[in-house]
Structure 1
Amino acid sequence: MNSWNFVGIIAWIIVIALLIFVVFNIRNRHLNILVVKKGKITWKTILTDLLEIVVIILMVSGLLYTSLFTRVDLTDKEAVSVSYKYDPMIVQTTDDGQGYYVKIDKKQSNSSTDVYQYWLNNTTYTVSSRDSTISDATLPFTVSGIHLDWPMKKIKKLDSKYQYAYVITVQAKYKNNFINGLGLKANRYAMEYRVLRVPARSFIEVEK
């Protein structure tokens, strides 16, 4: 485990310890009033109880939000580092001799998600359309839903080098800092996304 993530572990230990302390503190305070002093629970006591409970709820909510519910901002260079990898795809042929680079497997797809297959170094890769997209080189290069500073100069060079048939793999990794450590995310992958670049739609095979 990355050492920065111990920030989050220590924070959770403190919160759990405070939760135990609050439970016993409320219990002991009530027993002291009712049994020892033979008194009654007043609004002051109730407000003190509520204040302690609210503080604990806020602390737990803050840690849960930081750990589970924050959405990664891929443009935030303080939070994540983004890397790009480029691999040329291998052409495949249908029974009638038609070449293609990407196959859409409709048998494994459903109404909302497609399943793509492509080949690198004679190895088959299968990805979901949730984590990838097909980019037709006859159209302007766009990737919807992923806000990144795409290296267009590099992409244009690789378009020429690989004849518009390659895979762009984008990986975002959480940096080592206090906030990521508090959320137990430091040095972990935030996302991986693939852009399947093809020369034209005719190089996509749809298997029904």
Structure 2
Amino acid sequence: MSAWNFIGILAWLIVLAWLIFTILNTRKRHLKMIIKDHKKFTWRNLCLDIVEVVVFLAMAIFMVQTTFLRVPNLKDSSQVKLSYQYKPLVLKTDGAQGYYVEVQNGNGKKPVQYFTYWVEGARYEVNSNHARVATGGDPLAVNGAGLPWPKKVIKQVSRDMPAFVAQLSGTYRPTFINGLGMHVGNSAEDYYLISVPSEIFVNNKDKDQEQ
């Protein structure tokens, strides 16, 4: 684990320490109010209770958002390092039909598609949350093309390879905000752009028909 991520660990320890302090300090003040001052309520104690709880909630919400809910900005090169790989696809056959990618449709209200493709010596399966299939024309004219793909390189690859898979990999850089979220060195995104010459090279079948 990167040393930068200890920033986030320290921040969470501070949140925990503040929670413990709030519990103990609230108990101490309220016992003093009852035993020493012979009162059950004071506005001062109420205000201190509210301030301590609000501070804890603010810190906890901020750390939850930073650690678990922060969406990486892949176009911000100061926060995310991008790398790209391009591999030609291997043509598979099913009887007389040849195809480069197999699409399996899942079930449910928002079904996820599963894409299976082959490269030299390997078979991969990715889903539509992290991949798209482009059939002919401009490979970037599909959903997911809004990602920071190197357009000139993609166009050159599409001229050199009739069918290919382009992989975009993003890794969190060593920065304070990434360390605070304990993300440094971790994957920010893996996205696959699968490009084939036309729809006839796509084999469609339902997920429940898979072997």
Report if TM-score (shorter chain) is over 0.5: yes
Alignment check: 8 A CA contact 1:90 1:122 kept: no
Provide the C-alpha distance between the structure 2 equivalents of 1:130 and 1:62, rounded to a whole number of angstroms.
Answer: 27
Could you state the TM-score of these two structures normalised by the residue count of structure 2?
A: 0.90
Structure 2 equivalent of residue 113 of structure 1: 112
1:81 aligns with 2:81: yes
Deviations 1:126-177 (A, max 9, x none): 11122111012234622324532321211122112212x1100111111111
Provide the C-alpha distance between the structure 2 equivalents of 1:161 and 1:19, rounded to a whole number of angstroms.
Answer: 60
1:158 aligns with 2:157: yes
Shift of 1:41: 2.0
The alignment-based identity, stated in percent, is: 34
Could you state the TM-score of these two structures normalised by the residue count of structure 1?
A: 0.91
Structure 2 equivalent of residue 127 of structure 1: 126
* Runs of 5+ unmatched residues, structure 1: none
Provide the C-alpha distance between the structure 2 equivalents of 1:160 and 1:67, rounded to a whole number of angstroms.
Answer: 41
Provide the C-alpha distance between the structure 2 equivalents of 1:130 and 1:71, rounded to a whole number of angstroms.
Answer: 15
Structure 1 equivalent of residue 209 of structure 2: none
Provide the C-alpha distance between the structure 2 equivalents of 1:146 and 1:43, rounded to a whole number of angstroms.
Answer: 58
The 3 A distance-change label for structure 1 pair 53 and 6 is same
Is the partner of 2:149 in helix, strand or coil?
Answer: coil
Is the partner of 1:150 in helix, strand or coil?
Answer: coil
Deviations 1:10-53 (A, max 9, x none): 01111111110111111111111211232342112111111111
Alignment of 1:48-63 (within 5 A): 48-63=48-63
Alignment check: 8 A CA contact 1:74 1:147 kept: no
Alignment check: 8 A CA contact 2:102 2:204 kept: yes
The 3 A distance-change label for structure 1 pair 21 and 140 is closer
Provide the C-alpha distance between the structure 1 equivalents of 2:28 and 2:145, rounded to a whole number of angstroms.
Answer: 54
Is the partner of 1:115 in helix, strand or coil?
Answer: strand
Report which stretch shifted further, 144-153 or 182-191.
144-153
Provide the C-alpha distance between the structure 2 equivalents of 1:145 and 1:151, rounded to a whole number of angstroms.
Answer: 13
Counting matched residue pairs gives 204
- Segments of 4+ moved more than 3 angstroms: none
The 3 A distance-change label for structure 1 pair 80 and 146 is farther
Shift of 1:105: 2.8
Is the partner of 1:78 in helix, strand or coil?
Answer: coil
Structure 2 equivalent of residue 4 of structure 1: 4
Structure 1 equivalent of residue 179 of structure 2: 181
Over the residues paired in the alignment, what is the CA RMSD in angstroms?
Answer: 1.6
Report which stretch shifted further, 83-92 or 35-44.
35-44
Provide the C-alpha distance between the structure 2 equivalents of 1:161 and 1:56, rounded to a whole number of angstroms.
Answer: 57
